[in-house]
């Protein structure tokens, strides 16, 4: 197995998880956990070589001309974080297998996104190219947004988290770009080894500030701490993974990774110590006053991350090794703590400390796991948290210059640790000890087992903590270039670290005894809410943007098209004037057929402009498209002609589907508007036409065209030059285009699913919607002729599409043309059988089609990178019986599915509202919307997206006591995906 294959396996698992859930229900979590556990074992098998500084490196060309590679590196630091990501991920998925109820519609979504989260984080810690690092960094933000937001219940918290981390993502992009430009390479390893060159440049300070901003936003350091407690609205498995192993750990990893470059630089060092330990102390104080267990743990995460940030800032080998050990300890005890809170919340129906207590008797295994984890967080022996806390104290005590920084660090670290003991005791005593205030059910062993494993790991690793010496020393070598010589042990004898630990525990327990008085003092101080400040700034920014954009706000597309058209015309003219066109050859002579096409095209355009009816405008516009297709035929481009014909056919049909919700005629325009539009059209049309003619109005063969024709078959195995350009030579462009199509399909799905389609207000009207259009009756007539023809034509069109797909590399056809042919069959089925037939089909689903097609395209690209080197590199396959097949056929299949998915999205979600034809032979030819009394001409109002035949009730599969655990309310209406 390779590093690329390991990362790809996690992403493949994320894509397959919905299918696993369909087969295994929530038990799919165990399958996912087993896969991540197997991957962590494989990573562990690489440890001997990695810890001996024989790093595992893998690089594949990605954007070779830009010096960007898909490069991965497994060194000591990446090994630590990869084990955390995969190990904790396995526990979280196993926990999710019992957290989510049987048959919950949320299970597939959350398990799949959690696995995607794992893949993004694994790619992040292994990335050895700065652009790849940024891509995975942003993927963690996107996946966390969907995980926190859920199905809408956590929208506000998810938005805060995404916007804050997005700012950090932009800062990261700017920072690594500065470094790449300074060093002259995007290789992370080469950048980190160029310390002298970077520090001697004028960009070092700017890069430091940008990287600190990225890390602080990601790891919720002050003043960006507020988003993490707000993310607790997510289900407990999400909170567990986010706090213990992903997202917030990404910022910590970034600081570790760039310490070789900036460690010891005053700006870097002072910022980390001051902001990190200031955050640790502040968050510890806030955590001690929380009554919601999740909020308490969220602030405890902020505090512990601040402690790690502070010790990283010291920058010595011992300090970095201590930070690595505490990162591991924090991952284990925080995973156990969040999982126990989820169990308590589910079994007791609350996580409010004022309603809890005495649950140790009802939930003994959960109490044991929570107790061990809380003790490790508090730094009590004999747990891993005790060892890591002592090593952190030692790191501050052994800090070098400036001496005041070490002194400040140890003081703030001790004070923050006192708060840690206090909130750890508050969590455990308030939940599991004292009188039982709320009745709780017994938790199944399988539910509590992952938490118990994480809690017990803190004891087990502490007992053999010396086994971690090679790992933490390797982290020290990677980040500082020196071996820390760390010798971990539970007992180092009497010394200052042990004395400080005793002081911390004593003061912390004293704070617990005086908690009533301390809470009263805390109530006297009211700190501003970070979330409140963010919301006010956010709202003010949106309001300012609305005021700035109000003068250019319009419901009419022409308002926006006019400046774009004028800009394009101006750019075209300026370009044509400045470029020497003498070497392009003489313009081609005009033929009689050209003039005939121009006359026909002009007539269609004039007809479109003069049409008052929307239906007439659609028809004449379609005729213009067919005329252009005829021109392609005359020019000897049958592939383009067939594509144009299919596009125009589908466009006309889909225009009818969508426009039937609009008035049947266009609103009348004033004379001034017509004059301005005419002037702009004439000027822009003339200028762009002349510019286009100057560049392309010739029939001689270009150099690149000659190259494609001469070399295409030898390089790609295909003889259809159009198809080889699309799926071989310019495959990256095509991947970008189908990505746009996939996004459009997903957008249609999301928008229509969340809101019902209504009649739109007429531009320039008073805002009242017009009456429904009366020309949209297509497909609403019970026609046995059309139905019979469809039953024959639709299968034939699908077979023809497959034929076009398979022959596309050597003859007219390809994935795009084949997809359009299937789209035409879908439209025909819609027009003859109504919307319900499309809606009920299991094959015609938007997201599986566009998502599957896009995944196939990306997978083909990654496969080419693994097998042959470059991304999207093609190959020839030699099958039995002497059959030769181009590997790019796989990519073409992805294009095919995305095109079909987009058409399905338009028909399925924008075409709602056509009733089913009544199969009554006595009424053949009678519109099915005619009333039984014989009164025709009155159609029912269009059925909305949440109408009776398009919606289904999602019943709750939970017990109603755990808002995270339970599914949506049984009264919630959802559009069927």
Side-chain half-sphere exposure of 349, counting CA atoms within 13 A: 10
Phi, psi values for residue 54, rounded to 5°: -100, 80
Q: What is the mean pLDDT of residues 173-182?
A: 94
Q: What is the mean pLDDT of residues 749-766?
A: 54
Beta-bridge partner residues of 613: 665
User: Within a domain: residue 134?
Assistant: no
Query: Is the pLDDT at 934 greater than 50, yes or no?
Result: no
Query: Is the pLDDT at 475 greater than 70, yes or no?
Result: yes
* Pure H helices in 434-495: 445-463, 469-480
User: Within a domain: residue 828?
Assistant: yes
Per the model's pLDDT, the better-predicted residue between 654 and 216 turns out to be 216
- Give the whole-angstrom CA distance, residue 220 versus residue 385: 21
Query: Is the pLDDT at 765 greater than 90, yes or no?
Result: no
pLDDT band at 921 (very low <50, low <70, confident <90, very high): very low
User: Within a domain: residue 452?
Assistant: yes
User: Within a domain: residue 693?
Assistant: no
pLDDT band at 767 (very low <50, low <70, confident <90, very high): very low
Name all contacts of 968-972 with Cβ < 8 Å and 24+ positions apart.
968/105, 968/151
- Give the whole-angstrom CA distance, residue 684 versus residue 562: 9
The predicted pLDDT at position 944 comes to 36
Q: Can you tell me whether residue 292 is helix, strand or coil?
A: strand
pLDDT band at 254 (very low <50, low <70, confident <90, very high): very high
Contact (CB, 8 A) for 847 and 746: yes
Here the tokens at position 941 are 């109002």
Per the model's pLDDT, the better-predicted residue between 784 and 23 turns out to be 23
Query: Is the pLDDT at 835 greater than 70, yes or no?
Result: no
User: Within a domain: residue 727?
Assistant: yes
Token look-up 């709320």 returns 438
| Mean pLDDT computed over every residue of the chain | 82
Q: What is the mean pLDDT of residues 638-646?
A: 87
pLDDT band at 741 (very low <50, low <70, confident <90, very high): confident
Here the tokens at position 778 are 């297509």
The predicted pLDDT at position 943 comes to 37
Q: Can you tell me whether residue 23 is helix, strand or coil?
A: helix
User: Within a domain: residue 911?
Assistant: yes
Please state, for a pLDDT cut of 70, what percent of the chain lies above it.
Answer: 84
The predicted pLDDT at position 773 comes to 42
The predicted pLDDT at position 964 comes to 39
User: Within a domain: residue 581?
Assistant: no
- The residue segments making up the domain with residue 791 are 717-930
Contact (CB, 8 A) for 87 and 95: no
Please state, for a pLDDT cut of 90, what percent of the chain lies above it.
Answer: 41
The predicted pLDDT at position 261 comes to 94
| Number of independent structural domains in the chain | 2
Here the tokens at position 9 are 């396996």
The predicted pLDDT at position 389 comes to 94
% helix / strand / coil in the chain, to the nearest 5? 70, 5, 25
- Give the whole-angstrom CA distance, residue 375 versus residue 747: 48
The predicted pLDDT at position 44 comes to 94
pLDDT band at 655 (very low <50, low <70, confident <90, very high): confident
Contact (CB, 8 A) for 771 and 759: yes
The predicted pLDDT at position 281 comes to 95
The residue among 520, 540, 560 that closes a domain is 540
User: Please, which residues have CB within 8 angstroms of residue 175's CB and are 6 or more apart in sequence?
Assistant: 206, 207, 210, 211, 214
- Three-state SS annotation for 310-343: HHHHHCCHHHHHHHHHHHHHHHHHHHHHHHHHHH
Per the model's pLDDT, the better-predicted residue between 309 and 66 turns out to be 309
Query: Is the pLDDT at 309 greater than 90, yes or no?
Result: yes
Q: What is the mean pLDDT of residues 36-58?
A: 94
What region does 960 belong to: left with phi over 0, alpha with psi -120 to 50, or beta?
Answer: left
> pTM (2 decimals)?
0.77
Listed range (57-71, 312-326, 766-780) with the worst mean pLDDT:
766-780
User: Within a domain: residue 290?
Assistant: yes
Nearest one of 278, 323, 351 to 81, comparing CA atoms: 323
- Give the whole-angstrom CA distance, residue 233 versus residue 145: 12
Query: Is the pLDDT at 753 greater than 70, yes or no?
Result: no
- Give the whole-angstrom CA distance, residue 467 versus residue 154: 42
The predicted pLDDT at position 839 comes to 66
The predicted pLDDT at position 699 comes to 60
The residue among 509, 540, 571 that closes a domain is 540
Query: pLDDT tens-digit profile of 360-398?
Result: 989 999 999 999 999 999 999 999 999 999 999 999 998
Q: What is the mean pLDDT of residues 681-690?
A: 81
Residue 150: asked if its preceding bond is cis (omega within 30°), the reply is: no
Token look-up 């990654």 returns 862
Per the model's pLDDT, the better-predicted residue between 141 and 557 turns out to be 141
Contact (CB, 8 A) for 438 and 349: yes
Token look-up 């007219």 returns 812
Contact (CB, 8 A) for 26 and 102: yes
Query: pLDDT tens-digit profile of 802-821?
Result: 999 888 888 888 888 999 89
Highest mean pLDDT: which of 229-238, 390-399, 776-785? 390-399
The predicted pLDDT at position 331 comes to 96
Q: Beta strand 68-74 with 973-975: parallel, antiparallel or unpaired? A: unpaired
Query: pLDDT tens-digit profile of 269-296?
Result: 999 999 999 999 999 999 998 899 999 9
Q: Distance of CA 666 to CAs 122, 151, 677, 770, 884, Å?
A: 55, 39, 15, 11, 55
The residue among 513, 540, 567 that closes a domain is 540
Contact (CB, 8 A) for 66 and 136: no
Q: What DSSP character marks residue 908? A: I
Q: What is the DSSP string of 781-825?
A: B--HHHHHHHHHHHHHHHHHHHHHHHHTTTSS--HHHHHHHHHHH
The predicted pLDDT at position 973 comes to 33
């Amino acid at each position: 197995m390779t590093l690329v294959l390991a990362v790809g396996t996690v992403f493949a698992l994320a894509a397959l998880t919905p299918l696993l859930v369909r087969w295994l229900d929530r038990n799919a979590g165990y399958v996912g956990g087993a896969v991540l556990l197997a991957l962590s074992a494989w990573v562990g098998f690489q440890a001997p070589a990695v810890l001996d500084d024989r790093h595992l490196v893998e690089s594949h060309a990605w954007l070779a001309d830009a010096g960007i590679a898909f490069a991965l590196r497994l060194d000591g630091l990446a090994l630590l974080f990869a084990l955390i990501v995969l190990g904790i991920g396995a526990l979280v998925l196993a926990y999710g297998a019992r957290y989510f109820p049987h048959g919950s519609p949320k299970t597939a979504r959350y398990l799949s996104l959690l696995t995607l989260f794992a893949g993004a984080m694994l790619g992040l810690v292994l990335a050895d190219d700065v652009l790849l690092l940024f891509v995975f960094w942003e993927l963690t933000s996107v996946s966390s947004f969907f995980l926190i937001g859920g199905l809408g219940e956590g929208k506000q918290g998810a938005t805060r988290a995404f916007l804050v981390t997005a700012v950090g993502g932009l800062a990261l992009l700017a920072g690594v770009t500065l470094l790449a430009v300074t060093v002259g390479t995007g290789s992370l390893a080469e950048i980190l080894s160029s310390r002298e060159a970077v520090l001697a440049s004028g960009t070092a300070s700017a890069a430091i500030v940008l990287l600190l901003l990225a890390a602080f936003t990601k790891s919720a350091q002050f003043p960006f701490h507020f988003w993490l407690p707000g993310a607790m609205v997510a289900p407990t498995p999400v909170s567990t993974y986010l706090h213990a192993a992903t997202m917030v750990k990404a910022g910590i990893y970034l600081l570790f990774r760039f310490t070789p470059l900036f460690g010891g630089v005053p700006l870097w060092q002072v910022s980390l110590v001051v902001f990190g330990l200031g955050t640790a102390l502040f968050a510890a104080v806030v955590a001690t006053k929380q009554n919601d267990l999740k909020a308490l743990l969220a602030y405890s995460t902020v505090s512990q991350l601040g402690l790690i940030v502070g010790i990283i800032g010291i920058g010595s080998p011992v300090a970095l090794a201590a930070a690595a050990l505490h990162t591991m300890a924090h991952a284990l005890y925080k995973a156990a703590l969040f999982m126990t809170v989820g169990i308590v919340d589910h079994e007791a129906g609350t996580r409010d400390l004022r309603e809890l207590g005495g649950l140790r008797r009802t939930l003994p295994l959960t109490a044991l796991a929570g107790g061990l984890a809380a003790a490790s967080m508090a730094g009590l022996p004999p747990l891993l948290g005790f060892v890591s806390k002592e090593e952190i104290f030692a790191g501050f005590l052994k800090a070098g210059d400036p001496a005041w920084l070490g002194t400040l660090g140890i003081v703030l670290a001790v004070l923050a640790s006192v708060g840690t003991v206090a909130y750890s005791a508050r969590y455990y005593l308030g939940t599991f000890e004292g009188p039982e205030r709320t009745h709780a059910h017994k938790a199944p062993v399988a539910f509590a087992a992952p938490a118990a494993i994480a809690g017990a790991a803190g004891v087990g690793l502490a007992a053999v903590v010396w086994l971690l010496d090679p790992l933490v020393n390797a982290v020290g070598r990677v980040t500082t270039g020196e071996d820390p010589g760390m010798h971990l042990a539970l007992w180092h004898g009497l010394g200052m670290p042990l004395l400080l630990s005793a002081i911390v525990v004593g003061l912390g327990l004293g704070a617990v005894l005086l908690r009533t008085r301390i809470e009263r003092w805390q109530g006297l101080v009211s700190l501003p809410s970070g979330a409140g400040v963010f919301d006010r700034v956010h709202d003010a920014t949106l309001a300012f943007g609305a005021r700035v954009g109000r003068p250019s706000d319009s419901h009419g597309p022409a308002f926006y098209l006019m400046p774009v058209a004028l800009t394009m015309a101006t750019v075209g003219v300026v370009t044509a004037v400045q470029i020497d066109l003498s070497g392009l050859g003489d313009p081609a002579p005009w033929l009689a057929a050209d003039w005939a096409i121009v006359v026909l095209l002009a007539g269609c355009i004039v007809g479109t402009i003069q049409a008052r009816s929307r239906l007439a405008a659609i028809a004449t516009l379609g005729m213009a498209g067919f005329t252009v297709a005829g021109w392609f035929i005359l020019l000897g481009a049958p592939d383009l002609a067939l594509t144009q014909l299919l596009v125009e056919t589908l466009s006309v049909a889909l225009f009818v589907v969508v426009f039937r919700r609009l008035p049947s005629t266009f609103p009348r325009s004033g004379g001034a508007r017509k004059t301005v539009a005419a002037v702009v059209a004439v000027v822009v049309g003339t200028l762009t036409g002349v510019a286009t003619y100057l560049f392309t109005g010739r029939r001689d063969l270009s150099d690149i065209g000659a190259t494609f024709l001469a070399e295409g078959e030898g390089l790609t195995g295909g003889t259809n030059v159009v198809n080889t350009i699309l799926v071989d030579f310019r495959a990256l462009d095509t991947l970008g285009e189908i990505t746009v199509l996939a996004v459009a399909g997903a957008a249609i799905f999301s928008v229509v699913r969340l809101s019902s389609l209504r009649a739109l207000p007429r531009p320039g009207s008073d805002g009242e919607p017009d009456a429904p259009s009366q020309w949209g009756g297509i497909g609403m007539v019970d026609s046995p002729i059309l139905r019979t023809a469809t039953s024959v034509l639709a299968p034939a069109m699908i077979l023809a599409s497959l034929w076009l797909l398979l022959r596309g590399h050597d003859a007219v056809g390809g994935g795009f043309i084949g997809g359009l042919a299937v789209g035409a069959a879908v439209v025909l089925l819609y027009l003859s059988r109504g919307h319900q037939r499309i809606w009920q089909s299991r094959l015609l689903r938007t997201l599986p089609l566009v998502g599957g097609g896009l995944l196939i395209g990306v997978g083909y690209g990654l496969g080419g990178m693994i097998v042959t080197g470059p991304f999207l590199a093609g190959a020839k396959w030699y099958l039995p019986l002497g059959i030769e097949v181009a590997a790019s056929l796989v990519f073409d299949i992805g294009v095919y599915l995305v095109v079909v998915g987009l058409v399905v999205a338009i028909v399925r979600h924008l075409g709602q509202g056509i009733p089913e034809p009544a199969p009554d032979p006595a009424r053949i030819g009678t519109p099915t919307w005619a009333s039984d009394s014989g009164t025709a001409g009155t159609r029912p109002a269009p059925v909305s997206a949440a109408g009776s035949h398009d919606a289904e009730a999602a019943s709750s599969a939970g017990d109603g006591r755990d808002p995270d655990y339970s599914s949506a309310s049984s009264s919630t209406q959802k559009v069927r995906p």
